[in-house]
Structure 1
Amino acid sequence: MARGTRLSGATVLITGGGSGLGRRMALGAARRGSRVIIWDVDGGRGAAVRDEIRAAGGRAEAQAVDVADRDAVKAAAAGAGPVDVLVNNAGVVSGQQLLDATDEAIERTMQVNVMALYWVTRAFLGGMANRRRGTVVTVASAAGLVGVARQTDYSASKFAAFGFNESLRAEVRAGKLGVNTLVVCPYYIDTGMFEGVRTRWPRLLPILQEEQVATRVLDAIEDGRQELVLPSLVNLLPVLRLLPVSVFDRLMDVLGVNRTMDHFTGRSSEVPPAKAAGPTPAS
């Protein structure tokens, strides 16, 4: 197992930290003694989590950053300074069939869920390597292990996120950079992002709770884990791909995986505010 990162006294930066799983991880890291930096495209959301942490006696800063904007990421990273843990958590979903999704929604999904991984990680990885310590977390998804109907763009983006982490892990090992990588692949989380999704076998593939997943991710960071799949049954889904395609598809039908999005009413890909001169400074 790789070397973990102790959260007490660490600086933890979380993208998409103003809501959902990101907010829960920010609150949890602060309770463990971390200084937390919250990046969110919505400055108001990030500031609210910052204030929540400070009200509880913790240390937190917030920056309004569109992680899909390469220049904004560079400017914000310069203001944030070095970090010990980077959590690439920002993500969006359109929840539309390929023929129904707008061009803008598809592009936004790829920009936030894929390209932002490169811009944000590049901004902080060098500093971690120079100090020979730190952890880079990539929040992928069970949809990055097996494709799901009505998620063509989202599933593709999460497959890419999983591949990004795998290649990054190979790079840091080959270069002996002293940095750990952790990929997180949860099934649906009850954050509102996938409002309306249903699961046929709740005992086997339950809708996960934010606090539960956040705690497991923070534990994994400290333990030095390199992969976290929730629930554990999801680990079997890629293995089933060794079966003939017709058998694999039938099993997905039995599990109800491709019907989970039939009643989806969650939010579409977020559109960032009008581009300003630069990111809001940390405060």
Structure 2
Amino acid sequence: MGAKIKEIPAKLPKNFDKPDEPWYRYVTIDLIWKVLGYTLLHPWVSWIVVLCLRAQVTPYENIEMRIAIVWACVMTTVAIFGIISDKIAFGDSREVDLSEEVIVITGGVEGLGALMAEVYGMRNANVAVLDTKKVDDEEAEEKGVLYYECDVGDAKQVERIAAEIIEDLGPPTILINNAGIVRPKSILDSTAEEVEQTFRTNTLSHFNTLRTFLPHMLNANRGTIVTVSSVLGQLGAANLSSYTASKAALLALHSSLRAELAQHSNGQDIKTILVTPGQMSTKMFASVKTPSNFLAPIVAPVDIAKEILRLIEKGESGEIAVPLYSRYIQILALLPVGVQTLVRRWSGVDMAMVKAGLAKGVDKEADEKR
């Protein structure tokens, strides 16, 4: 008889435990925008329409032909402008061979970080996860990932673990700063220790990992750094002051990092990726309901991970903002303050933690009457 096949327990996604939603719950503005991007808003499809009209011997002077040609020219111009803009902003891509890369992921035991770690582990990449949560050796071996127990908010721990990673796998070339915690409390209810811990994990950890791993990337003249922030870093929200402030700091950190790499002689092939997701279906905000499933759908971690992995493996820099509203949320700041107030009130962003039962509201009844 042959060798006994090792059995690996499989767990179905949690979505299988939930009842099927009505079909219209799956129709969102993101889905519509994606379909348009592959059809009417795609330059290739736009020119196909022109060719189809010519195949029907439609004269060039006909209004439908003129509209089709103008539309195709506009879509082509927009596409070319986007390519040139990305080239100016992010430069050329670098070559990425996963067999030669060493990937470090902070906060990779659960949520988005765990998903990326397990995907790379299945592909036999060199993956090191830094997290305060423990993972037993058998589970780590099954996933093909090395787990290091580490508080990334502690600079000395990061330096100590970095030495172990270099000895075990080699100098890191891809850094995914994903670690994050949230404490849904108002400013007055938050203690100094809680605020400090939030900033240590969400913000200072990025400084610790950058100071530790970036020199190795500069020596190798290649690398990719992923900064996972949040759309709330641009919005702010009641009862999430420490979380939103710590995520807002990452936006400035990312811009400063890009500027410093541009000034460094070996920084050209070190790519940077900024991730500003909306609400994800993770434990962190599991009980929070979105104000509109159509305009602000909850994003599955796999959708974010897919975009991050795509940019990493293409060797490109970029910005990932999902769902659609998070890509254009900065426009809100250009509106009159009265309009901004009405939008915030309609969206319910400042009452979300209270309604989810995660925080106490200040004059909740008065706010709901306004």
TM norm. shorter chain > 0.5: yes
Match of 2:173 among 68, 76, 84: 84
Structure 1 residue matching 2:128: 3-state secondary structure: strand
Find the residue that maps to 1:258 and give its secondary structure. coil
2:160 alignment partner AA: A
3-state secondary structure, aligned to 2:321:
strand
Residue 292 of structure 2 corresponds to which residue in structure 1?
Answer: 201
Change (3 A) 1:70 1:48: farther
Alpha-carbon shift at residue 5 of structure 1 (Å): 5.8
Q: Secondary structure at the match of 1:159?
A: helix
Given the alignment, which residue of 111, 116, 119 partners 2:205? 116
2: CA distance, partners of 1:38 / 1:181 = 19
Bigger Rg over Cα: 2
Q: Name the CA shift for 1:5/1:196 in 2 (closer, same or farther; >3 Å).
A: farther
1:6 and 2:78 aligned: no
1:152 and 1:236 map into 2 onto residues whose CA distance is: 22
Give me the whole-angstrom Cα distance separating, in 2, the residues matched to 1:49 and 1:141: 30
Name the structure 1 match of 2:302: 211
User: Which of 1 and 2 has higher RCO (CA within 8 Å, sep 6+)?
Assistant: 1
1:97 aligns with 2:189: no
Distance (whole Å) between structure 2 residues aligned to residue 90 and residue 266 of structure 1: 21
Question: Residues 52, 41 of structure 1: CA spacing in aligned structure 2 closer, same or farther, 3 A cutoff?
Answer: same
Alignment partner for residue 239 of structure 2, among 150, 155, 158?
150
Question: Unmatched 5+ residue regions in structure 2?
Answer: 1-89, 360-370
For 1:93 and 1:49, locate their aligned partners in 2 and report how far apart those are by CA, in whole Å: 27
User: In terms of mean alpha carbon deviation, does 116-125 or 203-212 score higher?
Assistant: 203-212
2:337 matched to 1:245?
A: yes
SS in 1 for 2:105: strand
Does the 8 Å CA contact 2:179/2:202 hold for their aligned counterparts? Answer: yes
| 2:11 corresponding residue in structure 1 | none
Quick check: 1:185 aligned with 2:276? yes
Q: CA 1:53/1:44 → structure 2, altered by over 3 Å: closer, same or farther?
A: closer
CA offset at residue 186 of structure 1? 0.3
Kept in 2, the 8 Å contact 1:144–1:156? The answer is: yes
Letter in 2 for 1:135: T
Shift of 1:266: 6.8
Q: Which amino acid aligns with 1:78?
A: A
More helix by share: 2
Aligned residue runs from structure 1 range 42-81, under 5 A: 42-44=133-135, 50-54=140-144, 60-81=145-166
Q: 1:220-266, CA deviations, whole angstroms, 9 ceiling, x for partnerless residues?
A: 22231321111122122112101222221211222232233223467
CA 1:5–1:192: 2 relative to 1, 3 Å: farther
Query: Does structure 2 conserve the Cα–Cα contact (< 8 Å) formed by 1:4 and 1:135?
Result: no
SS of 2:151's equivalent in the other structure is coil
CA contact (8 A) 2:107 2:130 kept: yes
Aligned residues: 261
TM-score, normalized by length of structure 2?
0.67
Runs of 4+ in 1 over 3 A off after TM superposition: 263-267
Q: Deviations over 1:94-150 (max 9, x none)?
A: 011111122221111011111111011110001101111110111101111211121
Residue 235 (structure 1) aligned with residue 338 (structure 2)? no
Query: In 1, Cα distance between the equivalents of 2:357 and 2:174?
Result: 33
Q: Find the partner of 2:115 among 19, 24, 40.
A: 24
TM-score scaled by length of structure 1: 0.86
Partner Cα distance (2:326, 2:305) in 1: 18
Q: State the SS of the aligned residue for 1:36.
A: strand
The structure-2 alpha-carbon separation of the partners of 1:4 and 1:19, relative to structure 1 and needing over 3 Å to count, comes to farther
Residues 155-214 of structure 1 deviation map (CA, whole Å, 9 limit, x = unaligned): 000000111111101111121412111110001111101121111111221111122211
The alignment-based identity, stated in percent, is 32
Q: Secondary structure at the match of 1:230?
A: coil
Please tell me the root mean square deviation across aligned C-alpha atoms, in Å. Answer: 1.9
Distance of 2:98 and 2:156 partners within structure 1? 31
Query: Which shifted more, 60-69 or 3-12?
Result: 3-12
User: Kindly tell me: are residues 5 and 26 of structure 1, through their superposed partners in 2, closer, same or farther at Cα, counting changes over 3 Å?
Assistant: farther
The gaps in structure 1 that reach 5 residues or longer are 55-59, 268-283
Give the letter for the 2:98 counterpart.
Answer: S
Quote the Cα distance in structure 2 between the aligned partners of 1:51 and 1:116: 27
